[in-house]
Amino acid sequence: MSTSDSSREGGWVAAAIGPALILLLLTAYIPIIYALTLAFYNKTAFNPEMDFVGLKNFFWLLKRDDLWMALGKSIVFTIGSVGFQLAFGLFFGLLLNEAIRGRAIMRSLVILPYLLPTIVIGLVFRWILNPEFGVVNQILLFWGVVERPINFFGGLDVAMSSIIVTTGWQYGSFAVLLILARLQSINPRLYEAARSCGAGTWRCFLDVTLPNLRTTLLLIALLRGIWMFNKFDLIWIITKGGPLQATETLPIYIYKIAFQDFNFGRAAAGCFVMFVILLVVSVIYFRYFNPTKEIEVNR
């Protein structure tokens, strides 16, 4: 290829990806960089000036008990919700993979929660789990499981579990889809080989299904883990972090600093902290599990 050809090709490449890159720069990268630099300034809604304060925002933040409590809540919420989603995905994935009646309809139904807007899910669950009118409490009372209605989103000890189940239900279908897709691509000959070696149903699950799902489960855990760690909307819609601070995860806490205290500098420092935590966890994850390598070996 001559020089003029390759330079012309370079021109085409620039023309093709240039606009997208500029758009991304304007709408994503510049705001992100601006937000992160805010962490080093004293910037409040009432002060038009921006004073450089160095690491002061970070020192303030790291000394707050609220931050560490929110971090703890975030970890509980992330692990709980991702765990619920994996269990949900595994159960329905395996169920829908079987040749059962109405499988096609079930498969379409299972994806529905994923398509619903978060605001709808938030409101619906608030009604379903409402202590006075909610259908769940009515059923529990009717069957005599409980004597008094449970205040699912208002009780200090149950609010977090209720939030976990709600998000788990909403995003579990994502796990179902990925797991189902993987299950269907497992070579049926592997099951036959295992059975010819004397393996029953349980051993087939342990020695064929699980190893084949390993990569998928790890991938869901990573993707959903990041998502859930950053999750804001559903928690805000349902509990706003309450009761007291029972469901106040990091994003909720940072939102409150920004839009209740109107201290954008400190909120930006909080975002910076979250970003670093996710970065460190992701690096560790890839060092230990490396999902892409798994896929290569399994081919």
Partner 1 sequence: MSVGLTLENVTKTFSQGAKSINAVDDLSLEITPGEFFTFVGASGCGKTTTLRMIAGLESVSSGRILFDKEDVTRIPTQGRDIGMVFQDIALFPYMSIRENIGYSLKVARVPKKEIDDRVERTAELLSISDKLAMKPVQLSGGQQQRVAIGRAIVREPKVLLLDEPLSALDARLRTEMRSEILRLHRRINSTIIYVTHDQVEAMTMSSRIAVMEGGKAVQVDRPRSVFRYPARESVATFIGTPAMNVWDASLDGTGDAPRLTWSGISVPISREDAQALQGLTKVRLGARPQALKLVPADEALLEATLILKEPLGLEDECHLQLADGLELRLVGRVPDSVAEGSLIHVDIDPSDFCVFHPETGAVLRHGLNDKNIKAS
Residues that bind partner 1 (CB under 8 A): 187, 189-190, 192-200, 203, 207-208, 211-212, 214, 297-299
Structure tokens given for 54: 């160095």
In 100-227, DSSP assigns E strands to: none
Quick one: 53 or 207, whose CB is closer to partner 1? 207
The closest alpha carbon to 135, from 145, 125, 144, belongs to 125
Bond before 243 cis per omega within 30 degrees? yes
Helices and strands of the chain, counted as H and E runs: 15, 2
List of residues 6+ apart from 208 with CB closer than 8 A: 186, 190, 191, 194, 199
Element (H, E) at 42: strand 41-42
Q: Give min distance, CB of 209 to partner 1, in A.
A: 12
Quick one: 75 or 193, whose CB is closer to partner 1? 193
Report CA torsion sign: 26, 27, 28, 32.
positive
Q: Give min distance, CB of 104 to partner 1, in A.
A: 18
Quick one: 192 or 261, whose CB is closer to partner 1? 192
Quick one: 46 or 202, whose CB is closer to partner 1? 202
Q: Give min distance, CB of 187 to partner 1, in A.
A: 6
Instruction: Find the radius of gyration of the CA atoms of the chain.
Output: 24
Quick one: 194 or 271, whose CB is closer to partner 1? 194
Q: Give min distance, CB of 31 to partner 1, in A.
A: 44
Q: Give min distance, CB of 69 to partner 1, in A.
A: 41
